[in-house]
Amino acid sequence: TVSVLYWEFGGMSANASNPRVTFAHLQYCLRERLWRHAQSLAHDMHSALSDFTFLLWKAYALDREGNVADALREYKHCEGKRGVTTAALVGMQLIFKRNKDTEALSAISAKLEKDAQRPNFSAVTQAATLLWHAGEYTRARELIGQVLDSEPEYRDEYTSALTVRGWLDLSAGRGGTFADKCLQLFDRVLQAEAVENFVDIDALLGKVAVLEKKNQFWPAQELLNKCLVAHRGFLPAMVVKARQLLRVDDWEQAADTTTSVLASDPMSVEALILSTLNLLVREARVQAATRTIADLIKALQVREPRNGALYLACAQCFSR
């Protein structure tokens, strides 16, 4: 299996040279429910940096893929480590709650109560992020609210509390004025980062998502282009760009962008899906689409072998 760590970032690996960019890539994988992608990326980053933040997210992705025993093992390795203990305990609590293991749940809850007496903002931010990904929006909002109430501009080496709050509110399906508030949150992060001549990719992709929700595609495209200038070859931004181009019926540019993704990563599941759609819908090249679907199946078997929901989504898309 080709390691996700070496998906192109301007010809360089995504390891210790820029872990915050890699963390944004990891968060993208989790939002897209690409569980094995996330595991591979987190595993390689933990191996390269010995940073338990990435081991935490490997554990979460393992759990979502159905490897509960392995997830618990990795969570336990994170327990007691600064910056991730709260999130590791929350991850285990979710597993025990889902499996109705009352004894283990009681023990973990007691540990969380003790942990809450000496909160670590980085650990609480990661815990809120984990709860957001798990769909526990109310509890996630409570935790990130604790951080923002104490330190409104809090950020650590990987993310910002405002970025987490923005994605949380956006993912919770809050539209209208809430979308505008999400936009303001992401803008605050981007403006603060700009002072240091840095582009916060996760906040930028959040702003892109808000603009897409408001059907403001061309400003979103400008932001994606800005991201790609700052971080040449960042494939998630290229995939999002191609998807948006399809939504505005710019098939030619979408195809060009998809081709660029596949040139960097021939096994990109998302790009192969978009390429197949282009061949079927725009070009009506059924034989070529059949070959691309065969490539997609191979990529799924390698990159997401246990992702039943993704297999179903692909089947439904191409059977219509």
Mean pLDDT of the chain: 91
pLDDT in tens, 269-288: 999 999 999 999 999 999 99
Rounded percentage of the chain residues whose pLDDT exceeds 90: 83
pLDDT given at position 200: 87
Environment class of 243 (CB within 10 Å of its CB; exposed 0-12, middle 13-18, buried 19+): middle
pLDDT given at position 173: 74
In whole angstroms, give the CA distance from residue 60 to residue 55: 9
Which of 308, 309, 314 is closest to 292 using CA atoms?
314
In whole angstroms, give the CA distance from residue 275 to residue 267: 12
In whole angstroms, give the CA distance from residue 54 to residue 35: 14
pLDDT given at position 114: 94
In whole angstroms, give the CA distance from residue 297 to residue 158: 33
Which of 199, 185, 271, 187 is closest to 228 using CA atoms?
199
Rounded percentage of the chain residues whose pLDDT exceeds 70: 92
**Token reading at 285:** 């090249």
Distance, CA of 281 to chain centre:
29
- pLDDT class of 253 with cuts at 50, 70, 90: very high
Distance, CA of 282 to chain centre:
30
pLDDT in tens, 101-149: 999 999 999 999 999 998 899 999 999 999 999 999 999 999 999 999 9
- pLDDT class of 175 with cuts at 50, 70, 90: low
pLDDT in tens, 76-105: 999 999 899 999 999 999 999 999 999 999
In whole angstroms, give the CA distance from residue 118 to residue 86: 10
pLDDT given at position 43: 96
pLDDT in tens, 10-69: 332 344 578 889 999 999 999 999 999 999 999 999 999 999 999 999 999 999 999 999
Determine the number of helices (DSSP H) and then strands (DSSP E) in the chain: 17, 0
In whole angstroms, give the CA distance from residue 181 to residue 199: 20
pLDDT given at position 198: 74
